[in-house]
Structure 1
Amino acid sequence: MQKKQCALKILAVASLLAGVHSTSFAVDSASFELGTGNKSQLARVAAQWDWDSKWWQSNGTHIGGYWDLSLAEFRQDQYQNIPGQHKNLTDIGFTPVFRFQADDKKGLYAEAGIGVHLMSHLYDNNGRRFSTAFEFGDHLGAGYVFNNGLDLGVRLQHFSNGGIKHPNSGANFAVARAAYHF
């Protein structure tokens, strides 16, 4: 229960801080991601809206961020713990992401986000079961933004319902990400 409350508080604060600083409804970038973990894979497309904020600006760097709206497809390869039994599920997610980056938003960056996800079915793969279709998704990532707007990165992604209901075994994924800033 404490994890759930902490996650909800973080999400609420992030939403309040970031939401008032978007200057436009136009999409700033789009991304494609591939991930693997727990004998399952994910493919995800997303759109991002940059925040017009530069917190703790110092020495040519700052903390900024963006909203991330995603649509993903998961392929479970050991559905209900049966080897070779497959099941797909679809996920829609919304995540505020904080990013430590250069002031010009080019070069190396590190990021972290925690958001909400709604899955079309309950995840049940390789001994990991979710008891709710509503999940929190958090990630830590790093990457590089090139001068032409190409953004290549990696993420460690975790899904869990934050203790809302049991079982709550969670699942982890290693994710490769490519994005393009318009």
Structure 2
Amino acid sequence: MRIVLAAPIALGLALAACGETGSADADGDGVISAEEMTAAVADREPMQPGNYQLSMEVLELEDPESSPEELQQARAFFEMMGSMAPPQCMTEEDLNGGMMDIAESMQNGDCEVTSMNSAGSNMNAEMSCQSDGGGTATVTVDSTQTATSSEMTMTAVEAAEGGERRLSMRIGMERTGDCS
């Protein structure tokens, strides 16, 4: 797939931690700045530090420019990455400030957050990301967070010759205990 995936996935994980009520676009300019994202997460219930297990599931994978074999290889790669990830010790900084550092770096890179809304433990966002070929991919993120888990569905769509490229994934983090 030619969709730029690393930046949207990292930003999606950062956004999955958000939890303020309403739109994060405080100044109404149509772009969510790093500062607005930081303000949006200020009142959320924090996730507890500890060991977290990552899971990843490919829900949809389409690319009119790729063969069925290439799509199957890409699907297998993403699913292998999700199943092989060892539990990771996440500190309070990793779960809060560290995630916002990722979001801020993405804002200065290939993606721009164009909308972000949250209420309670639910959040949704939309980003516009530059793709490898100079086009633009639209990335949507829907997530739910508790003190010990986070689940996000991320969908990236990009125009392609003969149709559109689509990747939809479910990414989860589940606390498995204290760090050792």
Which structure carries more helix by proportion?
A: 2
The interval holding the TM-score normalised by the smaller chain is: 0.3 to 0.5
TM-score (norm 1): 0.39
TM-score (norm 2): 0.40
Which structure carries more strand by proportion?
A: 1
Task: Identify which of structures 1 and 2 has the higher relative contact order when contacts are C-alpha pairs closer than 8 Å and 6+ apart.
Answer: 2
